[in-house]
Structure formats: C-alpha cells, structure tokens
Amino acid sequence: MQPDHFNIRHLAATAAVVEHGSVSLAARAVNLTQPAVTQGIARLEVQLGLLLFERRPAGMVPTEAALRLTPRVEAALRLIGSSRVTATQIRAFVALARCGSYAAAAAQTGVSEPSLHRAVGDLGLALGYRLVDRRGRSLTLTRQGALLARRLRLALAELRAGLDDIADLQGRDGGRIVVGAMPLSRARLLPQAITAFRAMHPNIDIAIHEGSHVELVGPLRDGEIDMMVGALRDPLLGPDLRQISLFEDSPTIIARAGHPLASGWRGDDLRRFGWIVPPEETPLRQLWRQMFDAVGGPLPPVPIECGSVLTIRELLLRDNFLTLLSVEQLSVELETGLLVDIGPAPGRISRTIGLTTRADWRPTRLQQAFIQAVEAFGVSQNS
C-alpha cells in the first residue's frame, strides 16, 4: 500500500478512537457519525491486513499495530492541516509541485489534466487559500502553496514510516531507506555501511541520491530523503536540522603522477599551479583558504571550480592542476600510482564528516539500524 492512498478521515477516526477510547467520543472529535467511524476503521484494517482494535463490551482497545501507527498518523494530520483534505488532492498537488506543470504531473501520475485541475482547486477551497498562480503559460506555487507542498511531503513520509513500523511488527523485513550522499561519503563509508546493513537486512532497498549539501538539504527538509551523509555545516543551517558527528577528515594535496611537485613542495610552489576546488561556501573551499592563510600570501588561481571527484580525477590526470581532497575519495588512483599525495596540507586542516537529519525525525527500527551501521564505519575511520 502507498502512503498517498490512505483515506484521511479514516486515519483521523482511528487516531481519535485511540485517544478517547470510545467510538462515540471519537465521532464527536472528528465530526463524523458513529457508524462512519466504525466503517472507516474497518476499511482501514482491510487495507492494512490486520486488526487495529479489539472490540470489547467496554469499548475499543487499540492493538500494538494501532499504537505504533497512531503517532505517525497524528504527525501526518498536523502537517496536512485539515481532515477535509483527501488522498486524491494530496497526490495531485504533490505531483504538481514536483513536476511544475499540470501536463507533466498528468504524465507522471496517469491522471488526466482536468482531474488534476479539479483536485488542486478543491484542495485550495478546503484549506481556504490559493495554492497556484498562473503567469502566462507557466505556473508557480504561492508562498502558502510552497509551504503546503513541503508539509504534505513530510506527511507522506510519516505515513510511509508508519507502514514500515507495521511491517516490522508483522515480521516483514521490507521497506526502503533513502540516503543523500555528499561527495566524501560515496567513496568508502556508504558502500561499507550499506554492505554490512544489507547482510543483516537483505530485503530492505537502499536508494542513494548523490549531490552537494545545497542540492540535498531541500529534499531532506521535504521528507524525500531520510538522511544526508557527508561534511557537516558549522553553524548548523537552521533549528529544523540535526547533525551527528562521525569522524574528522584531513584533506591532503593531490596531483598526477609525474607532476613537478610529485616529490614534494616548499615555499611558494603551491602558487605556481592552478587549483581545482569546489565552489565558495563549501567546507572544502573554506579549508583551502585556511591552508593558504597558514602558508601566507595571496591565494593562487582557481581556473576550475568543481565538486565532482570523477571530473577532478580526469582533469588531474591531464594537466598540472592541484586539488585538496581526502585520500578516501581517490584511494584507487593513489594505490595504483595514477595520482600522488604531495601533502599534508599546511595548517590544522580538517572537516567533520557525519549524518544530517531533520530535528523532529523519528526513524523506524530499520532506519535506526542503518544509522548504526553508518556510525560503526564512521568510528572506524578515526581508529
């Protein structure tokens, strides 16, 4: 079952019965009739394939499945903001926000454009504000629409986690973990952690989204990825994020084999050659500046800004450029002698590598197990 196929009123009714302990009190809380609450819970149980309540003369007693699902449902309902919103409207608006046009959203979802228009319009009426502005042939989300799109994506992430919690309760080792991988983590840390985790949980799918911190932090905040692994930011970019330190990485100066500085450098040698470094505002670029602060004098030229290790490697092999990277990121090329480490970098140059999650994120048991696998190999980097 997909999280965007839940009936929102059925979810609200279930959470209300767990809270109040009776159908009559729950019906008043969610503004439904008692038969509607009873029927909604029964339909939800059929969808999930398990009982959420034990029916007793004294009332409805929630099962362990209901107790696990309810906190996720309550969080999702708070994010959705209204029990009058339907799953159809959520699917339509999330697809529109992701694709940027009704035509593209229709192609992605298989739903006709008129149906999408109607669902998004009804969603705006239910919430009482405009979601989309038209500008000629293009459209943009209003400020409230953009905020709603983020909340709905987070709500779907909560419901997805609720389904995983129930699968775990049933002994079904399944689900999906989505990881945002920044450059350093892709070399050894994540492959090692994923291999160890999959050995214990072979039925869990792992999706890796590669990118920079700037490219990944939005999807993290939206609930489209579960965590980011890579260089941490100081200061932390907002109270909605949480960082977990794993290890300290000390980048070094790397060049091609046969480079004029391959046997070492001194004095102003590091300024004689062009550098390949990532863009401004990245931790590694800041470390590069700190390195030359320690050396003293002006900064050398940076003819190429690049954060792709693959591209940097190819450029190093073809010219006398220098770069500042972790040996982990180019371990194969260093071991085979294609590239050489002419460091260490002068000064106290290091960056903290770790995990970044949403501050209010509550990982499932298997997501927590994956974090522990990443932490275990992160600790080994310091030993």
Q: What are 296-312's pLDDT values in tens digits?
A: 888 999 999 998 899 99
Q: How many Cβ atoms are within 10 Å of 316's Cβ, its own excluded? A: 24
**Does the pLDDT of residue 383 top 80, yes or no?**
no
In this predicted structure, the answer to whether residue 289 has a pLDDT above a threshold of 60 is: yes
Distances in Å between the Cα of 5 and the Cα atoms of 101, 118, 189, 359 are 22, 18, 36, 27
Please compute the mean of the pLDDT values over residues 348-363 and round it to a whole number.
92
> Per residue in 65-119, pLDDT tens?
999 999 999 999 999 988 889 999 999 999 999 999 999 999 988 999 999 999 9
According to CATH, where is 1.10.10.10 located in the chain? 1-172
Kind and range of the H or E run holding 56? strand 53-56
Taking the domain 1-172, which CATH number applies?
A: 1.10.10.10
pLDDT value, residue 324: 95
366 by DSSP, 3-state: which? helix
* Predicted confidence (pLDDT) at residue 44 exceeds the cutoff of 70: yes
CATH code: domain 251-348 is: 3.40.190.10
* Residue 30 burial by Cβ neighbours in a 10 Å radius (0-12, 13-18, 19+): buried
pLDDT at 223 over 80: yes
What's this model's pTM, rounded to 2 decimal places? Answer: 0.83
Q: What pLDDT is stored for residue 60 in this prediction? A: 86
For 181-250, the DSSP string reads E-GGGGTTHHHHHHHHHHHH-TTEEEEEEE--HHHHHHHHHTTSSSEEEEEPPSS-S-TTEEEEEEEEE-
> 348 pLDDT band (50/70/90 cuts)?
confident
Average pLDDT, rounded, for the chain: 91
State residue 58's pLDDT score: 74
Residue 50 has pLDDT above 80, yes or no: yes
Q: How confident is the model at residue 369 (pLDDT cuts 50, 70, 90)?
A: very high
Residue 382 has pLDDT above 70, yes or no: no
Distance CA 8, CA 14 (A): 10
Q: Which of 251, 279, 255 is nearest to 265 (CA)?
A: 255
Closest CA to 207 of 381, 328, 370, 379: 370
Q: Is 135 helix (H, G, I), strand (E, B) or coil?
A: strand
Contact 111, 56 (CB under 8 A): no
Q: Show the DSSP H helices in the chain as ranges.
A: 8-20, 23-30, 34-48, 64-80, 87-99, 102-109, 113-127, 143-169, 189-200, 213-221, 283-295, 309-318, 331-336, 365-382
Kindly indicate the confidence band of residue 123, based on its pLDDT and cuts at 50, 70 and 90. Answer: very high
What is the per-residue pLDDT across 124-171, written as a single tens digit (0 to 9) for each? Answer: 998 999 999 987 777 899 999 999 999 999 999 999 999 999 988 888
Identify the band that residue 183 occupies on the pLDDT scale cut at 50, 70 and 90. Answer: confident
How confident is the model at residue 347, as a pLDDT? 81
Tell me: pLDDT of 341 over 70.
yes
Q: Which residue has the higher pLDDT, 346 or 95?
A: 95
Location of each CATH 3.40.190.10 domain in the chain: 174-248+353-382, 251-348
Determine the Cα–Cα distance for residues 365 and 170; give it in Å rounded to an integer: 13
CATH of range 174-248+353-382; options 1.10.10.10, 3.40.50.80, 3.40.190.10, 1.10.3720.10: 3.40.190.10
Separation between Cα atoms, residue 221 and residue 231, nearest integer Å: 17
Question: Cα torsion at 115, 121, 126, 130 (round to 10°)?
Answer: 160
- Tokens representing 357 are 């999650």
Give percent above pLDDT 90 in the chain: 70
Task: Report pLDDT for 340.
Answer: 96
pLDDT at residue number 139: 87
Q: Phi and psi (nearest 5°) for 163? A: -65, -40
Q: Residue 84: its pLDDT value, please?
A: 85
Give the C-alpha distances (Å, rounded to integers) separating 336 from 104, 255, 305, 331: 47, 13, 26, 9
- β-partners of residue 56 are 59
Task: Output the six-digit token pair for 60.
Answer: 């409805």
